[in-house]
Structure 1
Amino acid sequence: MRDYGFGCRSEKQENMVERQVQDILDVLRGRRLDADVFKNGCALVPNFFCHIFLNAFWKMFCGDTLSHEDHAFTKHLVQLGFGFQRSTDATGLALGITPWLRYIAPGKFGIRQMRLSNGKMIESFQKSIDEHLETYSEDHMRDFIDIFIREMKSRESDSEDIQFTVEQLIVVGLDLLLPILTTINATLGYLVHYLVRYPHVQRKVQQELDNVVGRDRLPTLDNRPRLPYIEAAIREVMRIRPIIPLGVAHRAMEDGYLSGYFVPKDSM
């Protein structure tokens, strides 16, 4: 995954994000009006940000970019992502701690909505994976799916290898897609909310950008070390409005040791 910008900088990926940001700025400046992200002349947040991050991910994972004509598909995926997230609770999912609750009150704990949203997202990935399997070429790696398929084919003789399968590829895709559809967009939505609510902070953010970057270009990761106030503002928003306030519950799957202490199976 490092070939596509994970754990390292990727000029190709950064250029893709920059083009998407520029596209958003064009919309804000009135050069184009997208009905899916505007209502009564106002941008719908966080819907407004969804296309930029989904496009960067889709290019890395599936090799395609989504045009603005694909807004219906983008909107559909975003709705599924938020539907999945809203079916959980503040702890990350009570059913992860007490799974037997799904038999008592499945509607109360979001299990039905979760399965519906999850199933439709799986269908989206399955369609793209099927297309890749039909057009796969060992000599031309187009994206992450192709690289995964190559690894999967190299292990076909190992009947006990369960790490490289189509099912596992879908799980990897979901693990990457859900934060892109929900966490990042929701965090940016809260950031906009607090910048509007506290205009003096907004002015300081703008001043730092003007001093370090100027108004003739977009900021890059090279500018990040010189933008401490903006970094602090983002982190403060994430502190005030965490997406999962109580964190994701964890449970020990097997007996083990941590720093010399015995941790029995099923410990919370």
Structure 2
Amino acid sequence: MLVEAVIVILSLVYLYFTFRKPPGLPPGMWGLPIVGKFPSTSVRFGDQVKALRPRYGDLISWRVGNRLLIFLCNQQLIKRALSKQEFTDRPDFSTFFTYAQGGFHGVIFGNGVKWQIHRRFVLRHLRNLGMGKSKVELDIQEEAVHLVEDFKKHTDKDETVPMSLGVAVFNVIWKMVAGTRFRMDDQRAHDLVSMVWSINDTFQGPVTLFNFFPWLENWSPKWLKEKLGLKDLQDLSGELFSIAKEYVKLHEDKHEPNKEGDLIDQYLSAMKEEENEDSILSVKELLVVVLDLFVAGLETTSSTLRWAILYLAKYPEIQRRVQREIDNVLPRGTKPQYQDRAKLPYFEAVLNEVNRISSLVPLGVPHMASQDTQLEGYIIPKGAVLLPHLECSHKDPELWEKPDQFYPEHFLDAEGKFVPREGLMPFAVGRRVCLGESLARVEIVVFLAALLQNFTFIAPEGEPLSTENDPKEFSLNSPKPYRITIRERKSEVEK
């Protein structure tokens, strides 16, 4: 009896010291030992955090399981926090490790010196390959031509947005990474696009439980891992990893050192030059970098374009106004260019409003405190997960006249000129700002302008379009699948 009593006392002492609230923590939700305070599954996590702002302010702590989450709910606070070196790391989430093949690899979920070297390498060589220059814009324009031709095959039908939209976006980054592209109707390309969309869906499901309870993965039986989606994430990331390996192997077989080529060629050349025991460059790192580029490069841009088509179909008067502006600036048959946006203020306002209202990554990509760090007078303990609540800024009533409405006039002055707004952060900010931002901006402008030159998007009769977000979505606001009617525009200018 005495032994049992001692075990109980020691267990209680362990729970107290392990799960007691650290001093100096921002106010928020602490919850019970071990489990913390679980968010509701019927309301988006981000919306639950927004509801706490009147009570706790813009810096909110919330413990879920073994993880302490710190939400940054103010534009200036987000910028200050994410500029700190101490908040640069990614957390050791189970889903991140599964995707990145068991470690802090690549440019999305990598950490430390290895991440810094790979980020600099990728950014430098993507720029060398044309990112931010006219060369890559020519490739985007060519993909836009193929995209328009494929959309013509889908006119006057009630169906989902054609898969070619994803293929066009994928081709742009894949040509830079692997030196090749796919036809719009290539089934393998469709399968790749579907896998990327599926892996992002899996990231947001019950598999996130493994992130909040790090011990759960080692103790879970196989059937539980399957039920919670960890097996699906392993299978999907493994399949995409195998595809990356296939293309890297093809490059290795025909590689010529110091030959200018795509990003894979350049990485292999750099590996050869730095071939020693201490080299950070490796085939495994290259494989995860390739995986990162076609997952991140495809999902965010294609989802933004699908949101844009959805909102334009839902608000036909806005779509007509955009088309009139495009028709007046770009005669039919003229290929849109990124620089044209300077003459298309309403079009640019619409694009920015799509980014604001959809808030594609509402809670940003998680960061982690690498050491105890002061922020706004509070102590953010080592290991805490920081979530920049971008949607709070995007829908802050103090920053936006109509925060919950699709209102392009947010980005127009009294004379109808485009005006950028500081509260918009679609590509995040700080040390880990999206490295493909310049590429994504060009793609969105060129692809959407080309589509609006040639087509009108209409809600199917009797099927009202919904722009509501899915409550289960934690990290990505992808539009729910929707049906659309694509109508080809025949006249040169439609008033």
Q: Shorter-normalised TM-score: what interval? A: 0.7 to 0.9
1:86 aligns with 2:177: no
Question: In structure 2, what is the Cα distance between the partners aligned to 1:59 and 1:177?
Answer: 10
Structure 1 residue aligned with 2:215: 100
Per-residue deviation, 1:76: 1.2
Q: Which amino acid aligns with 2:344?
A: L
Identify the structure with bigger relative contact order (alpha carbons < 8 Å, sequence gap 6+): 2
Q: Is 1:19 matched with 2:134?
A: no
Query: Aligned runs of 1:123-138 on 2, under 5 Å?
Result: 123-138=242-257
Match of 2:278 among 145, 156, 160: 160
Please give the residue correspondences for 1:7-156 in structure 2 after superposition, counting only pairs within 5 Å: 9-29=132-152, 33=153, 38=154, 41-42=157-158, 44-45=160-161, 47-68=163-184, 71-89=186-204, 93=208, 95-102=210-217, 103-104=219-220, 105-107=224-226, 109-156=228-275
Checking the alignment, whether the CA contact within 8 Å between 2:304 and 2:355 is kept in structure 1 is yes
Please tell me whether the aligned partners of residues 92 and 244 of structure 1 are also in contact (alpha carbons under 8 angstroms).
no
Match of 2:17?
Answer: none
Q: Note closer, same or farther for the CA distance 1:5–1:146 as it changes in structure 2 (3 Å cut).
A: same
User: Which 5+ residue runs of structure 2 have no aligned equivalent?
Assistant: 1-124, 386-495
Change (3 A) 1:91 1:263: farther
Deviation at 1:260, TM superposition (A): 9.5
Instruction: Evaluate the alpha carbon distance shift between residue 139 and residue 178 of structure 1 in structure 2; reply closer, same or farther with a 3 A threshold.
Output: closer
Q: In the alignment, does 2:373 pair up with 1:247?
A: no
- What's the secondary structure of 2:368's corresponding residue? coil
Q: Which runs of 5+ in 1 are unaligned?
A: none
Q: How far apart, CA to CA, are the structure 1 residues paired with 2:155 and 2:142?
A: 24
Report the RMSD for the aligned CA atoms in angstroms.
Answer: 2.7
CA distance 1:265–1:155, change in 2 (3 Å)? same
Distance in 2, Cα, partners of 1:156 & 1:176: 24
One-letter code aligned to 1:77 = L
**Structure holding more helix per residue:** 1
Counterparts of 1:249-264 in structure 2, within 5 Å, are: 249-255=366-372, 263-264=380-381
Residues 246 and 47 of structure 1: CA distance in aligned 2, closer, same or farther (over 3 Å): same
Deviation at 1:152, TM superposition (A): 0.8
Normalized against structure 2, the TM-score is what? 0.47
CA contact (8 A) 2:179 2:261 kept: yes
Identity percentage of aligned residues: 29
Task: Give 1:23's aligned amino acid.
Answer: H
C-alpha displacement of 1:139: 4.5
Structure of greater Rg:
2
SS in 2 for 1:66: coil
Q: Are 1:205 and 1:230, in contact at CA under 8 Å, matched by a contact in 2?
A: yes
CA contact (8 A) 1:82 1:182 kept: yes
Deviation string 1:213-256 (CA, Å, 9 cap, x unpaired) is 23230210111222222222122222222333333332223455
Instruction: Render the CA deviation track for 1:137-195: whole Å, top value 9, x for unaligned.
Output: 124222110110111111112x1222x11111111112211123322212211211111
- Structure 1 distance, partners of 2:279, 2:315, is 54
Between Structure 1 and Structure 2, how many residues are aligned? 256
